[in-house]
Amino acid sequence: MKCDYACNSAEHNIARRNFLGQCAAGAGAVGLGLLTRPAVAEQLAREQKKILVINMAGGLSQLESWDPKPGTDTGGPFRAIPSSIPGVHVSELLPHTAQQLHHLGLVRSVNTKENDHGKGAYFMTTGRRRTPAADYPKLGAVTAKALAKAGESLPGHIHVAAGGGGGRSNDAAYLGPKFASITVGGGKPPQYSTPPKGLTDASELRRQQMRQKMNQRFALKRRTAETDAYVQNYEQARNLVRQRDVFDTSKESAQDHERYGKHDFGQQCLLARRLLEHGVPYVQVTHSNYDTHNENFIFHLEQVAEFDRPFATLVADIVDRGMLDSTLIVVLSEFGRTPKINNRYGRDHWGTAWSVLVGGAGIQRGAVIGKTNANGTQVTDREVDGGHLFHTYLQAVGVDPTSTFDIGGRDLPLADPSTESIQEILA
């Protein structure tokens, strides 16, 4: 349904350019942000749990990361190194992360039975298989709705990208545009977040007072789900303009820029830390690209090496700043890569036996769940899929995945009711 409120006023243009460009709201976009058990929601908001997801786009090889199999027919050229979890080895491409692993945990038995990029990503980020029959909100949207504090001024669902940003995605399904992701990047404030030149505080105040007065009068007789969503987004955009420095990594020290690395991913991790520190409930950073059908090993050497130090630095900072108990950290992909090495030194899509890193809030420190066989071709213990993981992520941050959202009077489950959390990894 298309929103009809494009009045083309200066104020609305500012807001719309920021994240109302896709204000086409779903029919159920009530956007009141309430769990059916409000007391739980209030408790969560007080504790300010957060989720950090690193999306290894294209499909990180589990053999070149979390579940190496050196010396086997599938092992490839990289060796395994010991991690800070006794007896647990990871790829030699991860020397820095290996030293932080005791703060985190691994699930080495993921079998999504899905080798398609789009379907795999959907399963891993919504916890449900993609079907034409229904669309489900992504983890970030669910998190934003479940964990955001009432009246929170910053968006609750932020994707950090290499380039610019400012757009709002259509990834919240029936939760509505308020919980859809906003993309920021480049270590700079979002596009169009600078107030118009010449606009004084006094005149801005008058403009807003007039707008609010007209909104209230309009709402008395013609309030709808869409008007509520629009007003909420507009107010959030105004708050974001006031807090644009939150997105500005130039405020961080030169030493931190050096520690994280000046390449895109390093800067994205630094921005992620900044956003988490400012209480954003869901931050996702994408590192690309791992879809290595060709020359898997030189590309993983290049990519994983780039990932390792900034990620390990981010984990260490989260620990040092006392945020680990409140921050769930996840490193996921849409799938893993084939154990069999193809004739171009590549590995292909593989949803059958791969790994996800998960740690921090609600997760046992140093837990390693599940196993694959000697050369990584099968899960041999505790097989799980995207549904189990989705439940686990929510439960780890204190959200009951079996609870429901009240969407326009309908109770809609937060997660797939047919599956459950991985209890043994939870703290």
Partner 1 sequence: MSEPTVSAEKVVKPQPKETHVAAEWKHESPLMACRFDPQGRYVFAAAEDSSVVRWELSSGAKTIFKAHDSWVRAIAFSGDGETLLTAGSDGRLIWWETAAAEPKPLRSIDAHAGWVWSLSVLPNGKQVLSGGNDKLVKLWNIESGELVRSYAGHESHVYSVLAHANGQLALSGDLQGQVRQWSLETGACTRTFDAKTLHTYNGGQGVHFGGVRALSMSADGAQLACGGLYKATNPLGSVHDPLVMLFDWESQKLLQSYIAEGLKAVVWKTAHHKDGFLIGACGGTSGGFLLFWKPDAPKEFHRFKLPDIVRGMDLHPNSLQIATAHYDKTIRISVMQPKNT
User: Which spans of this chain sit near partner 1 (rule: CB under 8 A)?
Assistant: 58, 70-71, 73, 76-79, 264, 288-289, 291-295, 299, 301-303, 341, 343-344, 346
Compute the least distance from the CB of residue 105 to partner 1, in Å. Answer: 28
Compute the least distance from the CB of residue 375 to partner 1, in Å. Answer: 12
Please report which helix (H) or strand (E) contains residue 56, including its range: strand 50-57
Compute the least distance from the CB of residue 362 to partner 1, in Å. Answer: 32
E strand map for 349-397 = 349-350, 354-360, 368-369, 371-372, 379-381
Asked whether 225 and 28 are in contact (CB, 8 A), the reply is yes
- Judged by beta carbon, residue 224 or residue 288, the one nearer partner 1 is 288
Token pair in block for residue 28: 């159920």
Compute the least distance from the CB of residue 305 to partner 1, in Å. Answer: 10
Compute the least distance from the CB of residue 299 to partner 1, in Å. Answer: 6
Compute the least distance from the CB of residue 58 to partner 1, in Å. Answer: 7
Coil, helix or strand for 127? coil
Phi-psi region of 111 (alpha: psi -120 to 50; beta: other; left: phi over 0): beta
Compute the least distance from the CB of residue 263 to partner 1, in Å. Answer: 10
Distance CA 422, CA 396 (A): 10
Coil, helix or strand for 21? coil
- Judged by beta carbon, residue 70 or residue 366, the one nearer partner 1 is 70
- Judged by beta carbon, residue 179 or residue 290, the one nearer partner 1 is 290
Q: Shortest CA distance to 173 belongs to which of 387, 405, 394, 392?
A: 405
Compute the least distance from the CB of residue 289 to partner 1, in Å. Answer: 4
Q: What are phi and psi of 303, to 5 degrees?
A: -80, -50
- The dihedral through the CA atoms of 64, 67, 73, 75 has a sign that is positive
- Judged by beta carbon, residue 73 or residue 245, the one nearer partner 1 is 73
Distance CA 226, CA 28 (A): 9
Task: Enter the DSSP assignment of 19.
Answer: I
Instruction: Give the count of beta carbons closer than 10 Å to the beta carbon of residue 219.
Output: 13
The Cα-based distances of 309 to 98, 100, 101, 209 in angstroms read 10, 11, 13, 48
- Judged by beta carbon, residue 58 or residue 156, the one nearer partner 1 is 58
- Judged by beta carbon, residue 295 or residue 325, the one nearer partner 1 is 295
- CA-atom Rg of the chain in angstroms: 22
- Judged by beta carbon, residue 19 or residue 297, the one nearer partner 1 is 297
- Judged by beta carbon, residue 262 or residue 321, the one nearer partner 1 is 262
